[in-house]
Structure 1
Amino acid sequence: MWVYEKKLQFPVQIEHPDPSFAKIVITQIGGPDGELSASMRYLNQRYAMPYDRVKAMLTDIGTEELAHLEMVSAIVYQLTRNLSVDEIKKAGFDAYYVDHTTGIWPQAASGAPFTSTYFQSKGDPITDLMEDMAADGAALYDQH
């Protein structure tokens, strides 16, 4: 199925923790346009795809999204490691910290936990591919 090399394709090396920035970046893990939504979207839609080449493409894209999830999780972890209590409170990271310490929990920047309502899998190839394009368009728009 997959070969996992047990290393990040692009290593993350953050020298200075920044919990304020982590509060924003975390939405790329579990927010509506985050990597968890993207990976689940493609990996679930592939089952109903009637065309093998498109099914393979959805599998490839979903797998790539999982790699992005791993990199963004490493970023959030490194932004929040070794924090003092004062740094946690000053950044407003205390509510997250109480529940998860420096564990990675999929949520949006607003604090809303990840939900499968962030992605769609209807079983209709045209509907699913249109949803994919809309979601990727939203993710690209969010970056600008």
Structure 2
Amino acid sequence: MFFHENSLQYEVEVEQPNPYFAKMLQQAIGGAEGEMRVALQYMFQAFAVPQEKQEYRNLLMETAVEELGHIEMLATAVTKNLEGARDEQIEDAREDPVIAAMLDGGQPRQALSAGLHAMPVDSNGVPFSGGYVVASGNLAADMYANVMAESTGRLLATRLYEITDDPGMEHMLEYLIARDTMHQNQWHAALETMDDHIPVPASFPQEKENQDVNYQFMSTFKEEHSNPRQRWTEGESIDGKSEFSYGRQPGIDTADIEEMIDEMYNEAN
């Protein structure tokens, strides 16, 4: 169940509307690094959490709803960056500098399809894809995915911050960047509360793995290279269950596929 309060989670002010920046803000709404992605990711992850792990469901769902508030903030920012065009000017788009800038900037749909408002698309106008959402049903795997999602989201927000010189937009982005910091930390903290979560899934019996390569860094250079002696090629493994080693991909003879080809009936006769 959700409730909506008719106010923004954080203030959004724009001193100098900028249609180009509105276009770039769309990436933070409907892009692969955007708020639609994390809101739906955390929500669908929460749906899969069993009752006995209610604390994780609460963590995920509360964060998902917070991210919905971020979408609302960014959509408001897009609209405020597009303000200034009157209805009669929309009819004659090229006479209005705001709409003309959008047309020249490659995002005419913000005028033509959305009437100078945000859309569920990225900065190139590509519709949001549910394929961005990671919800595996495995809590540990999902938490790692969430760290990545918040890392790339924070990276995007910092790049947007460097692009704008509008004090209101900087103020909003400072808030969003700070929340990305917290969210990265909370997902790491959640991982720390889980026993024996490396590798994912930890419940699969490791004795069934190929024991010759399960802790081996595998070189794929054609010519043989010596062990570079890095943290991931020697010493204790991260899960503490073995030692890293260095080797080469095994390589096998060319597969014999003639019989399979015959069974596909590819020949004309």
Select the residue among 112, 119, 124 that pairs with 1:105.
Answer: 119
Structure with the higher fraction of residues in strand conformation: 2
Runs of 4+ in 1 over 6 A off after TM superposition: none
Corresponding residue number in structure 2 for 1:36: 36
The letter of the residue matching 2:100 is K
Deviation at 1:94, TM superposition (A): 2.6
1:73 aligns with 2:75: yes
Q: In the comparison of the two structures, how many residue pairs are matched?
A: 144
Q: Under a length normalisation based on structure 1, what TM-score does the superposition of the two structures give?
A: 0.89
Distance 1:66 1:135 in 2: 15
CA contact under 8 A between 2:44 and 2:135: conserved in structure 1? yes
Change (3 A) 1:21 1:124: same
Q: Under a length normalisation based on structure 2, what TM-score does the superposition of the two structures give?
A: 0.50
Corresponding residue number in structure 2 for 1:47: 47
1:129 aligns with 2:143: yes
1:89 aligns with 2:100: yes
- CA deviations 1:73-118 (Å, max 9, x no partner) are 1000111123353321234243432222223211111221111011
Structure 1 range deviating more: 30-39 or 92-101: 92-101
Distance 1:129 1:96 in 2: 35
CA contact under 8 A between 2:28 and 2:156: conserved in structure 1? no
Distance 2:2 2:109 in 1: 37
- Say which one has the larger Rg: 2
Change (3 A) 1:7 1:96: closer
Give the fraction of aligned pairs with identical amino acids, expressed as a percent.
27
Distance 1:101 1:2 in 2: 28
The runs of 5 or more residues in structure 2 that have no matched partner are: 159-269
Distance 2:100 2:73 in 1: 26
Q: CA RMSD in A?
A: 1.8
1:22 aligns with 2:22: yes
Distance 1:133 1:103 in 2: 30
Distance 1:96 1:4 in 2: 25
Structure 1 range deviating more: 55-64 or 96-105: 96-105
Determine helix, strand or coil for the equivalent of 1:143. Answer: helix
CA contact under 8 A between 2:78 and 2:117: conserved in structure 1? no
Select the residue among 108, 129, 154 that pairs with 1:115.
Answer: 129
Structure 1 range deviating more: 8-17 or 33-42: 8-17
